[in-house]
Structure formats: C-alpha cells, structure tokens
Structure 1
Amino acid sequence: MTAKLQVLCLDDEPHVLDALRRHLRREYDVVTTTQPQEAVDLLAAGHDGSVAVILSDMWMPGMTGVDVLERARSISPDTTRVLLTGDADVHSAIAAINQGKVFGFMLKPCPPRDVRATIAAAAEQHRRVRAERELLEATRKGSIDALTDALAIMRPGLAGRAGRRQRLVERLCQRLGVADAWQIVMAARLDEIGAITLPPSATSAIETGTSASATEVEMLANLPHLTDSVLARIPRLEAVREIIRHQLPTDRDPMSPLRPDAPDGARLLQVVREYDALIWRDTSPDLAIATLSSRKIHDPEILGALAEIVGMRLPNEAVRGVEVDDLATGDELASDVHTVDGTRLAARGQVVTERLLVRLRDQTLTPGLQNPILVIHVIDL
C-alpha cells in the first residue's frame, strides 16, 4: 500500500484545523499546529521533502504566513506552499508570491471541494518536483561515474591521485565540521577530470608535479577551466565547478594565494592538493605541513586540522595482499597494480569499482597480473 503524502496545516484557530483535517485525512497524512515556530521545526525535521504540502494561515501571532512560507522555501524547497487567508489584501498576496513563492491561495471560508482540489494540485506539483529532482540526480550520478571510470582506464595515476585526495578531504571536512562537505569532496574527485583530453606527457607532469616544457605549463594552468568545460553540462554541479575553477597548479614555486573571491571549499581543496603534491615527491608528512605553513597563504585552522590527521592510518586499518578473485568493489588499493609486462592498470589510492574489477579479472588471462595486489583492509574491532 502506498504511503499517504504528508500535509502540514498551520492556523491559530483550532476549529479551522479540525475542519481541514476532516476534509483531507482520507487522502493525506494530515499534521496540524497552531504555532508557526512548531511548523517551521516540523519542516526542518523533514527537510528531505517528506512534507509534501504546507498550508499556512496569513495572520498569526508572532509570525505571518508569508514569513512561514518564506522559511519553508529555504528549509524544504520541494514542499509545495499554499496560503490561507481571510482577506484578499493585494499587498499580502504580492508579498506571498515574491517572498514565499506560493503555489496557490485559498480564501476563508473555503468550501471542502475547493480545499481538496487545491491540495490535490499542490500534491501533484510536489510529485513533479521530486520526480524531476530524482531524474537530475540519476543523470548527474551516471555522468560522473562514466567520467571517473574513463579516467581510471585512461589515466590510472590520476584516478589514484583523486581517490587519495578525496578521502583526505572527507576526513578534513569531518574534523572541521564543514557544512555542505559533499561539494568539496566531489570537487576533489573531479578537479582533474579534464586531463582525459591532455596528452600523456602532460598528465605525467600532473602526477610528478614537474612540467617539462612551457607548453605543459600552459596546459596545466588551464586545467581547472578545461575541467569546468567538461562538467558544464552535468546538472547541479555549479558549487562544485566554482571550487574547481579557483584551483591553482601545484608545480609553481612560490605558490600564490587564491583570489579573494574564492569560496572556502576552494581554499580547503587547494591545501589538500598542495599537500598531496609534496607527499608524491617523497616529502615526509611533517615536512609537507611545515612547507605549507611557511608559504603563509593558507588558513591556519585548515593546516592545524590537516596536521592532526595526516600520516595516521585509522586504528582498524591494515594493508594485506590479495588475489584478484578476492578483490571486492569498495576496496582501496594500497599500491599500483601492474600487468606482468609492467603496464599500470590501477594506481595506489584508487577505490575498486565494478568496471575496474572486471578489467583486472580480464587481465589475469593475458598477459596476467603481478601478484599480490595490496589493499587496505578494515579490521573489525
């Protein structure tokens, strides 16, 4: 049986709420309150859009219906907003449209048939919004997975590098309590995806941090903008692209500070990228942190948090060798994976995906893999 959609009704007159509940309870899960702040709190508790429709009275003590619907729009944008008012004041209507972006109005007294019709239309609007969002999310995920799979096949070193930095960003954001951390994590995963289009010599320069020619220097300097153009057609990545656009090449000496308008996420990711570049050149973690600090261009709070977490394996992590048949999706590689003739198929730091697993298993036949494969194993404590 399909669960009923939830409708939240707010009015300071209990008898109005009783009537709304009677009219709507057959089709909907009706939640009522006479307190504007309680309605806002209920929306915040279901911020994922579990409240399909909010119906708010216009005039209430402490907070107007316009105020409530404006906050509802911010807290739960997928929730359809409907205003209930006892007068047809033009100014109130304009305020509701401009601030609360209401879907519809109902004027008191409202016949039961009109109540049900308005709420049915609002619920259908909610379904359409959610369906569109789910379609966009599926499109975004499919596009990103396809790009990262292509990077893993064509440039395994860069895929491993992205994996290392992504996990470091995740731990750093967790330590700092960063809001919307997913945007920075996604930027760490994708910030060099444009390198797929560059020649192998240029991508080698990205890995080693040393450019061999002026042409390579120019290509690497343009990499954030190249990546941005690759990601431009993927929906809902605007904040991620903004972080990526502000990144600087990590092979410059001395390093320059980011532009003043760079978002905080860009500053955090730039620290991780510079740290990873130093580690890749066999700099010790302590010296890498000291080098970043000496540049005097990074947030001391970010550097302090980074110093606390780098160079430390989690207590329940260990490295072990496995055969390819024992690999599983989600495993993190602790070393590069090569064929017996020396071709690199995957890089240290990559997370094993279904596509990579199939590719590695195919290679066990011809020409075969160098064994064992080292992975980071999580031990149950």
Structure 2
Amino acid sequence: MNKKILFVDDEENVLSSFKRNLRREFSITTAPGGHEGLEIIKNQGPFAVVVSDMQMPKMKGSEFLAEVKKISPDSSRILLTGYANIENAIDAVNHGSIFRFLTKPCSNEALISALHEAIRQNQLLTGEKELLEKTLKNSINVLTEILGMVNPAAFGRANRVKRYVNQIARLLKLNNIWKLDMAAMLSQIGFVTLPNHILEKVYHQEELSAKERNMLAEHPEIGAQLIKQIPRLEDVSQIIRNQNTDFSEHQKISTPLAPVQKFIVLSSQILKVVLGFDEMIFRGISKPSAMSILKRDKSKYNPKVVDLLEHVQISEKERMQKTLALAQLKSNMLTNQNIISLQGKMLVAKDTELTDPLIQRLKSYDVSVGVQQPIKIFV
C-alpha cells in the first residue's frame, strides 16, 4: 500500500509538526512551496496524498494542487485553509478536483482520519486503473493474435517495432509508455483489410500499382478508425493515424499544444522513425547505414529521434541461436526464420516474438496440416 504523503507549506515549523506527529503512521515528505513540491512529485512520486496550505507566497495552494492534478492525477489532494478563505477553498475544490479541504487549526485526529480516507481513495483510483490497463492489454493481445493469423509478416513487424519504440521511449523518459507500446503493436492492424495479393507484394517487396499504393497508404487511417472505438485508446488511435506523417508537417503546427497533444505528436514521430528503420534492417541494411539514410531526410524524420537509434539494441545480436522442434518452442523466443506449413504457407514471420497462444496455434496447425521442422530461433 502506498502511504507516501507530501505536505507543502511555507512555514517550516508547521512542516516539522507534521513530520513529528505523523511519521510513525505515514511516509512523510515535505516541501516549502509549490514549485519545490512539483519537483518532488516529478522526481519522487507518485504520492498517495498531497496536502497543501492555501496561503503561500509565489504559488497559492489552489494553484499548486491544480498543477498536481495534471502531473499526478491519481494522488488525492487536500487543501488546508483558514476560515477567511473558505470561498477560495470551495473554488479550488470545483476547479482542482480536490478530495477534501480542512480548516485551520485542524486537530491531529481530524487530519489523520482525512489522510486515511484520502489513501483509500488513491487505492480505488489506482486499483481501477490497473484493472482497466490489464483488460486493455488482454484486448490488445487478442487483436494482435488475430493480426498474426491474417498477416504473419505484419504481426512480426509490429513485434519488432514495439521493441524499438519501447527502448526509445525509455531513453526519453516518457510518461504513459504503454500508449506508445500499444500504438506500435497495433500500427499494422489496418493491414487486415487489404487484399491478399497486395499483402504478398508488400512482403516480397514487389512494385505496386498506383491504386495498390493508395490502398496501402490508407492502412493507418483504417487502423485508427478501428482502435478509436475502444475506450481509453483515443490517444493510441491518433498516434496510429499519424504514423506516416512527415516531421516537416508536425513542424508547421503554430498553436501551442496541450501536454497530451505533445505526447501524441512525439509518439507519432518516434513511430515513423522506427518504421523506416525497421524496414531497412529487415531488408538487410546495416544499422549504421540505415541511420545514415534516415539522417539525410530531415524533412521526414525527427533528427533527435534518429540519433537515439544509436542506443537501440537489435534483439538478434543479444540472443543465442538454436534449432528446435515445434514441441520445444517456448514463450518469448524469437523466430530466426519464417515458420512455414508443409503446403508452403507462411504461418509466422521471421523476427516474431513467440507467445503461448501463438505456439498453441502452431501445434494445432501441425496436427491438421503439418509444419516444417526444425525451426531456427533465438533464445
């Protein structure tokens, strides 16, 4: 259970009193002002509860807690105020979604009771969030498994792209990395609507007609339309929609962007860079050469994101190669060849990370039709 509580007050003796009276029951951190409090939340959070005095120099408590809501929305927020500031406190509750406000002076018993209730509220919020994210993850796994059945090559590419974007997102220390991970995994979902002959041409890198190129170019929009119907995936849908948008188009945006829009734009740029990078790596172009090609086209690819590819590890080089029978395959192994049926149909593309459902599907296919074995994989 998270019992971390941040107290913000400009009076040092008040902060000392909180520490002295509450440290046995809670994990107490203090800050002498709003700006310092925000930095502590960014570096030491999340906090279950954030408590702030109303009247402070530089930044009022209501202003501070409104900022806390933006960067740590699951933290319960409590405002301490004097009787003369009740109208301000009510306004703060209405605008900052403050869990509770307490009037000063406040007894230890009343404060401790409020803190316990605030912690329970935080548990409810985080518990619901974890349940929703688990449900979403399972839904996405089902969608990607379907993609793997319809188009193994697209599924394999989505797996590779996810590994690359995740590394870049961690280097950038982005929040909500799960959204970018999902966008990567679902970036190819629009391929399920393309005719098989186009998929075959794309996989074998054959020339497409003008009509076929137009159909292929529509797959991000089709994927975005499919995904936006799923609750809480609206941002993921926008990232997918913009996966092929050139960097120069993003630079034309002149109006200030809200934090969520900045995240969507940057995530789209990361996805575009990684898709271009993966395409070249898959064709056998070396990593340095692929980076050099991307760097030359600054209008298409964000140069700062391209530079981060230097730190991206290509999984095959980190694993040991083995040749195994189908019965020996395990989850998280990486294919080092296309897995083909005895009739010559591709079932799983090279560079696909195996999952338990995928392995079970291969075993069922082996019983009914047959699968070419042994299989080269990385472990």
Q: Same fold (TM over 0.5)?
A: yes
Q: CA deviation at 1:353?
A: 0.5
User: Residues 30-52 of structure 1: CA distance to partner in whole angstroms, max 9, x if unpaired?
Assistant: 6264734665565445524xx32
Q: CA deviation at 1:224?
A: 1.0
Partner amino acid, structure 1, of 2:327: D
- The answer on whether the counterparts of 1:258 and 1:267 sit within 8 Å (CA) in structure 2 is no
Aligned CA distance change for structure 1 residues 119 and 81 (closer, same or farther; 3 Å): same
Identity %: 31
1:374 aligned residue = 376
Q: CA deviation at 1:228?
A: 0.8
Matched, 1:123 2:125: no
Partner amino acid, structure 2, of 1:135: L
Partner amino acid, structure 1, of 2:329: L
2:333 aligned residue = 331
Q: CA deviation at 1:268?
A: 2.7
Q: CA deviation at 1:143?
A: 1.3
C-alpha distance in 1 between matches for 2:293 and 2:40: 49
Which residues of 2 match residues 151-190 of structure 1 at below 5 A?
151-173=147-169, 177=172, 179-180=174-175, 181-190=177-186
C-alpha distance in 1 between matches for 2:2 and 2:211: 61
Partner amino acid, structure 1, of 2:32: Q
1:107 aligned residue = 103
TM-score, normalised on structure 1? 0.79
Q: CA deviation at 1:160?
A: 0.8
- The root-mean-square deviation of aligned C-alpha atoms, in Å, is 3.6
Q: Which structure is higher in helix share?
A: 2
- The answer on whether the counterparts of 2:247 and 2:298 sit within 8 Å (CA) in structure 1 is no
Partner SS, residue 84 of structure 2? coil
- The answer on whether the counterparts of 1:208 and 1:277 sit within 8 Å (CA) in structure 2 is no
Which residues of 2 match residues 285-300 of structure 1 at below 5 A?
288-297=290-299, 298-300=301-303
Partner amino acid, structure 2, of 1:222: E
C-alpha distance in 1 between matches for 2:92 and 2:284: 60
C-alpha distance in 2 between matches for 1:289 and 1:237: 31
Q: CA deviation at 1:338?
A: 1.1
Q: CA deviation at 1:138?
A: 1.8
Aligned CA distance change for structure 1 residues 18 and 287 (closer, same or farther; 3 Å): closer
TM-score, normalised on structure 2? 0.79
Q: Which consecutive unaligned segments of at least 5 residues does structure 2 have?
A: 254-263
User: Residues 18-67 of structure 1: CA distance to partner in whole angstroms, max 9, x if unpaired?
Assistant: 48976x789x526264734665565445524xx32222222346653234
- The answer on whether the counterparts of 2:8 and 2:15 sit within 8 Å (CA) in structure 1 is no
C-alpha distance in 2 between matches for 1:301 and 1:102: 39
C-alpha distance in 1 between matches for 2:164 and 2:291: 14
Aligned residues: 364
Aligned CA distance change for structure 1 residues 340 and 82 (closer, same or farther; 3 Å): same
- The answer on whether the counterparts of 2:6 and 2:51 sit within 8 Å (CA) in structure 1 is yes
Which residues of 2 match residues 286-325 of structure 1 at below 5 A?
288-297=290-299, 298-306=301-309, 314=317, 316-325=318-327
Aligned CA distance change for structure 1 residues 7 and 288 (closer, same or farther; 3 Å): closer
Identify the range of structure 1 (353-362 vs 127-136) with the bigger mean alpha-carbon deviation. Answer: 127-136
C-alpha distance in 2 between matches for 1:169 and 1:204: 26
C-alpha distance in 2 between matches for 1:211 and 1:95: 63
1:232 aligned residue = 228
User: Residues 88-119 of structure 1: CA distance to partner in whole angstroms, max 9, x if unpaired?
Assistant: 32663266346643222111234566545544
Matched, 1:29 2:51: no
- The answer on whether the counterparts of 1:338 and 1:344 sit within 8 Å (CA) in structure 2 is yes
Aligned CA distance change for structure 1 residues 138 and 321 (closer, same or farther; 3 Å): same
Aligned CA distance change for structure 1 residues 109 and 293 (closer, same or farther; 3 Å): closer
C-alpha distance in 2 between matches for 1:40 and 1:263: 25
Q: CA deviation at 1:258?
A: 4.3
1:267 aligned residue = 269
Q: CA deviation at 1:333?
A: 0.8
- The answer on whether the counterparts of 2:76 and 2:99 sit within 8 Å (CA) in structure 1 is yes
User: Residues 150-201 of structure 1: CA distance to partner in whole angstroms, max 9, x if unpaired?
Assistant: 1112211111111222223344455x53534554443222111122233322
